[in-house]
């Protein structure tokens, strides 16, 4: 059983930070950021909570889908920057959009979140007491946990949200979800609590570098190496299950972290870069919102057409990775 993406929507905040704006915080420049990452500018949430961005994207997706909020049976939100530890962002959005008949929960698979969320939606839709429609919302206010004193990470990230309304269908679908928890300490942000006193003296906790409370830490080189392997692997493991190859794919929609990572993955797959949708130049890395933002932009620009085969491939903290092959 597959899924049909009935409608998508997205929302990005108005405030834009260009590369040179970072000179105010750290020793950097436009040329370094462009050539090392491909990023030119990104959006910043400012006053807007992550749930608000998610709600706005969700309402746009519902309108595109022609589905009423009360017809939604389940809301899955993906985020690494929830405004509350509890309640879930999904519950807040459920109330805000009036989806009174929906169950709601959050899912954290970091930047692989949308891939995990969409695959989870499909599994609910395949169940005996399946909801008619599932709403998947990915919303990230990464600026809330970026350390604006750390030039290697703060220049990478941006804020935004995207959402999809899905229903069951007999279209092709295949997925692979993976995780390598041994990579936890190369990309992490601690909880808001001053955790030092309550950390376990354990092999797991002792291995983490020190970082200001709740700020994002990244060992860029190690994540880079992981990513260039994870993207092709996620594709091959998902596509291989249904005997598909890169030649069957119309559009690759990868996690938007660094254009060099995507170019290396494309080379490994033997796929042309023209088949990859790129939005990181104007949105930066929006964590779990990056794949649905790119997909929705592809749809809105008329690049992604009904009947085409798509490969959504992601990686992120965890370290997680995953791929979905589906027909739009």
- Smallest separation, CB 146 to ligand UT7 (Å): 11
Catalytic residue selected from 4, 258, 285, 296: 285
- Given candidates 152, 169, 179, 308, which one binds ligand UT7 under the rule CB under 6 A? 152
Segment interacting with ligand UT7 (CB under 6 A) among 2-10, 94-102, 202-210, 257-265? 257-265
* Pairing mode of beta strands 72-78, 103-107: parallel
Member of 227, 234, 277, 295 binding ligand UT7 (CB under 6 A): 227
The active-site residue out of 4, 19, 77, 255 is: 255
Cβ proximity to ligand UT7: between 29 and 305 the closer is 29
By CB under 6 A, tell whether 220 contacts ligand UT7: yes
Residue 111 interacts with ligand UT7 (CB under 6 A): yes or no: yes
* Residue 255 appears among annotated catalytic residues: yes
Which CB atom, from 68 or from 149, has the smaller least distance to ligand UT7? 149
Query: Which residue from 4, 120, 138, 285 is in contact with ligand UT7, where contact means CB under 6 A?
Result: 285
Confirm whether 111 is a catalytic residue.
yes
> Does residue number 95 form part of the binding site for ligand UT7 (CB under 6 A)?
no
Cα separation, 207 vs 201, whole angstroms:
10
Number of residues that bind ligand UT7 (CB under 6 A): 19
**Does the protein bind ligand UT7 through residue 308 (CB under 6 A)?**
no
Residue by residue, what is the 3-state secondary structure of the chain? CEEEEEEEEEECCCCEEEHHHHHHCCCCCHHHHHHHHCCCEEECCCCCCHHHHHHHHHHHHHHHHCCCHHHEEEEEEECCCCCCCCCCHHHHHHHHHCCCCCEEEEECCHHHHHHHHHHHHHHHHCCCCCCCEEEEEEEEEHHHCCCCCCHHHHCCECEEEEEEEEEEECCCEEEEEEECHHHHHHEECCCCCCHHHHCCCCHHHHCCCCCCCCCCEECHHHHHHHHHHHHHHHHHHHHHCCCCCHHHCCEEEECCCCHHHHHHHHHHHCCCHHHECCCHHHHCECHHHHHHHHHHHHHHCCCCCCCCEEEEEEEECCCEEEEEEEEC
Query: Which position among 183, 316, 318, 322 is part of the footprint of ligand UT7 (CB under 6 A)?
Result: 316
Catalytic residue, chosen from 77, 111, 146, 154, is 111
Considering only 258, 286, 288, 296, the residue that binds ligand UT7 (CB under 6 A) is 258
Determine whether 146 is an active site residue. no
34 binds ligand UT7 (CB under 6 A): no
Chain residues that interact with ligand UT7, rule: CB under 6 A: 28, 32-33, 36-37, 111, 151-152, 155, 220-221, 223-224, 227, 257-258, 261, 285, 316
Catalytic center residues: 111, 255, 285
């Amino acid at each position: 059983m597959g899924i049909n993406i009935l409608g998508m929507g997205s929302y990005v905040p108005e405030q834009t930070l260009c590369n040179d704006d970072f000179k105010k915080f750290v020793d950097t420049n436009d040329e370094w950021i462009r050539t090392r990452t491909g990023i030119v500018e990104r959006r910043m949430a400012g006053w807007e909570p992550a749930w608000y961005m998610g709600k706005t994207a969700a309402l746009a997706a519902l309108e595109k889908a022609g589905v009423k909020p009360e017809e939604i049976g389940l809301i899955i939100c993906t985020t690494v920057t929830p405004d509350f530890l509890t309640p879930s962002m999904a519950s807040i959005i459920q109330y805000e959009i009036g989806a009174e008949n929906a169950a709601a929960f959050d899912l954290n698979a970091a930047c692989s979140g949308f891939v995990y969320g969409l695959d989870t939606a499909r599994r609910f839709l395949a169940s005996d007491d399946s909801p008619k429609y599932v709403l998947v919302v990915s919303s990230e206010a990464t600026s809330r946990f970026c350390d604006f004193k750390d030039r290697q990470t703060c220049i990478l990230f941006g804020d935004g949200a995207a959402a999809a309304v899905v229903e069951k269908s007999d279209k092709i679908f295949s997925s692979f979800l993976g995780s390598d928890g041994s990579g936890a300490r190369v990309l992490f942000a601690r909880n808001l609590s001053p955790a030092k006193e309550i950390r376990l003296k354990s092999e797991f906790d002792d291995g983490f570098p020190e970082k200001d409370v709740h700020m994002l830490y990244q060992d860029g080189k190690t994540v880079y190496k992981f990513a260039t392997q994870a993207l092709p692997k996620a594709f091959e493991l998902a596509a291989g299950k249904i005997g598909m190859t890169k030649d069957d794919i119309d559009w690759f929609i990868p996690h938007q972290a660094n254009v060099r990572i995507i170019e290396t993955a494309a080379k490994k797959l033997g796929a042309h870069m023209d088949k990859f949708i790129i939005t990181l130049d104007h949105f930066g890395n929006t964590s779990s919102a990056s794949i649905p933002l790119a997909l929705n932009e592809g749809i809105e620009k008329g690049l992604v057409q009904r009947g085409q085969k798509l490969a959504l491939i992601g990686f992120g903290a965890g370290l997680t990775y995953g791929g979905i092959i589906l027909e739009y």
